[in-house]
Amino acid sequence: MDIASKGDDAGGTANSSGDTVVSANSVEKTYDSVLPFTRSVEVLDGATLHVERGQVVGIMGENGSGKSTLMGILAGVLDHDAGEVERAGSIGWCPQEPRLYDRLTVDETFQLFGTAYGMSDDEIVEARAWLTEVLDFERFRDRQIRHLSGGNRQKVNLSVALMHEPDLLLLDEPYTGFDWETFLAFWDLTEELRTRGVGVAIISHIINERDRFDVVYELHEGHLHRQEIGDDDGLSSEPTDDDVACERTASFIDEAGAGSGQRATAGQEESE
Amino acid sequence: MNRRITTAVRMGVREFRRTPVLLALLVFLPAYIIGAFVLLVPDVDVPATIDGTRLTVPMTDFAAAFMTPVTVAILSGIVGLFLVQTSQAADDRLRLAGYTATDLVVSRVGTLGLGIVVVTMASVVVAVFAFTPESTVPFVAATLLVGLTYGILGVVVGIVLGRLGGVYVMLFSPMVDVLLFQNPLATDAPEWTTLLPSHYATNALFDAAFTSSIDAWDFGGAVAYTVGLLVIGVLVFYQATDVE
């Protein structure tokens, strides 16, 4: 399948760098309420992030830190108040809660979204065969989404994001509910996508998996802090785009420097 | 019609078909509401004001004609509400995947239209068991306009209010609008009630039910009201499913 040719279909815009599939610069987002006597919640305050082709990027942060909001903004389904987001090529978005049509079967879901991606019937069948085999849910193909278990629903959710082999994959806790074999299969699949040049951004709470990422961003108090994996001292206490440092991040660097190798992140393996 | 629209409409119809409660309502409610009223009302003639003229009509005929728009308004509102509630979360993902705003709006309006045609047909079939309208085709057309009006309202209310609040509003508003303020048995309805959604369509419906004349003004008003609501509905739906 020709990945580059499908870029326009998903509404991607041209990017200044040939290797960058998404870049967010100084993004700000506040949730305002129209009701009186309710407070606004500032979620992102100058967040900056870049994902390159063939790069697997982790986005971490405690519950309620705004990771899913950031992902929604990167995908283009959420508005942002300030800053710039540029995307290149086609996008695959796997939201945390499966956004699927409950009364359609797995096959019909592939058909509907495949049509949306502009795929031919043969390409849809091919993608379905590939993903149902890799993620092991071939036997549920004629079952309605509402009758699937949480784990199998998540497999369909992930497959919808993957089926058109996008240039950029945005995955919000994609392995929630997966059994161990599927979890490993997911990472094999991610490696395969990396070698094909797909840029992958994953929201994750599983700290033990951080070595699988090329870059980790920690989201704290609206700021993103970047760390190149393989360099424990690489996490910057400075946010990616402004001069506001975070105490929590500084303390994390101390722990990493002490050789703990793992982060004591609140809400480990919990859903946000 | 392009491949995306036909696929989305086909899938939307399948979703309807797999909602047994909704299907049961489509069959049960017309029979229950229209049928029960026809059976319960006394077999007498009543005076009613139709198109400004005082007529005397059998109470059973009046009950059948009157409860048809009430039933269609309630059911169409619920269909619109159900349609948007079951699809809204995934619709923005479909937009991101490649559906244009036009593709999605045409698909959803098409599915809603099919649902309203089913509701209208089910209600009219029950009604004509009890009485024969003077002008059948205009009667069906006016009933369809009531359905479209409330179906679009159901979509808008579903987006703005959510499921529980939406169900209350879509059950309550046809009762107030059609049953209370557009009732030909009532006299001296306030002037502002002419602004209510079913005013023109129910006037056209009662004309068709009990007179051989067709009031173009009422039909025109009903069509204009429906088109106006459709524009509002499309804008609200577009805003709710908008992606960059």
pLDDT tens digits along B12-66: 999 988 988 888 888 888 989 999 989 999 989 988 888 778 888 899 999 999 9
> CA-CA distance, B188 to B172, in Å (whole number)?
22
Which domain, by its residues, includes A96? 6-53+67-204
Chain A residues in contact with B87 by the CB 8 A cut-off are 101
Residue environment code for A149-160, b if the CB has 16+ CB neighbours within 10 A, otherwise e: eebbbbbbbbbb
Q: Report if residue A266 sits inside a domain.
A: no
pLDDT, position A140: 95
Q: Is the Cβ of B163 closer than 8 Å to some Cβ of chain A? A: no
Q: Report if residue A120 sits inside a domain.
A: yes
Element (H, E) at A135: none
Residue B215, CA distances (Å) to B78, B131, B133, B190, B218 in order: 29, 21, 15, 21, 6
- Assign A232 a pLDDT band (cuts: 50, 70, 90): low
Q: Report if residue A36 sits inside a domain.
A: yes
> CA-CA distance, B142 to B201, in Å (whole number)?
5
Query: Minimal CA–CA distance to A24: which of A192, A219, A178, A241?
Result: A241
Q: Report if residue A58 sits inside a domain.
A: no
CB of A174 closer than 8 Å to CB of A205: no
Written as tens digits, the pLDDT of chain B (244 aa) is 689 999 999 999 999 889 888 888 888 889 899 999 899 999 899 888 887 788 888 999 999 999 999 999 999 999 999 888 888 888 989 999 999 888 888 898 899 999 999 999 999 999 999 889 999 999 999 999 999 999 999 999 998 988 889 999 999 999 999 888 888 887 677 888 889 999 999 999 999 999 888 888 899 999 999 999 999 998 988 888 877 6
Residue-wise pLDDT tens digits, A114-149: 999 999 999 999 999 999 999 999 999 999 999 999
Neighbours of B217 (CB within 10 A): 11
- Assign A154 a pLDDT band (cuts: 50, 70, 90): very high
Q: Which residue has the higher pLDDT, A244 or A272?
A: A244
Residues in chain A: 272
Q: Is the Cβ of B1 closer than 8 Å to some Cβ of chain A? A: no
Closest residue to B90, CB basis, from A10, A91, A101 = A101
Q: Is the Cβ of B20 closer than 8 Å to some Cβ of chain A? A: no
Q: Report if residue A219 sits inside a domain.
A: no
ipTM of this complex prediction, to 2 decimal places: 0.81
> CA-CA distance, B63 to B48, in Å (whole number)?
12
Q: Is the Cβ of B87 closer than 8 Å to some Cβ of chain A? A: yes
Chain B residue with the nearest C-alpha to that of A12: B244
pLDDT, position B4: 93
Chain A residue with the nearest C-alpha to that of B16: A103
User: Do residue B96 and residue A111 have CB atoms under 8 angstroms apart?
Assistant: no
The three-class DSSP label of residue A91 is strand
- Domain residue limits, chain B: 3-240
Q: What is the CATH number of the domain that holds A24?
A: 3.40.50.300
Domain count for chain A, please give it. 1
- Assign A240 a pLDDT band (cuts: 50, 70, 90): low
CB of A51 closer than 8 Å to CB of A57: yes
Structure tokens at A172: 């919000």
- Nearest-Cα distance to chain A for B107, in Å, is 12
Closest residue to A112, CB basis, from B7, B19, B244 = B7
Q: Report if residue A217 sits inside a domain.
A: no
Question: What is the residue whose two structure tokens read 């697997």?
Answer: A56
- Assign A236 a pLDDT band (cuts: 50, 70, 90): low
> CA-CA distance, B210 to B162, in Å (whole number)?
39
**Predicted confidence (pLDDT) at residue A237 exceeds the cutoff of 50:** yes
- Assign A40 a pLDDT band (cuts: 50, 70, 90): confident
Give the side-chain half-sphere CA count within 13 A for A223.
Answer: 18
Question: What is the residue whose two structure tokens read 């006299």?
Answer: B187
Q: Is the Cβ of A137 closer than 8 Å to some Cβ of chain B? A: no
Residue-wise pLDDT tens digits, A60-119: 988 888 899 999 999 998 889 999 999 988 999 999 989 999 999 999 999 999 999 999
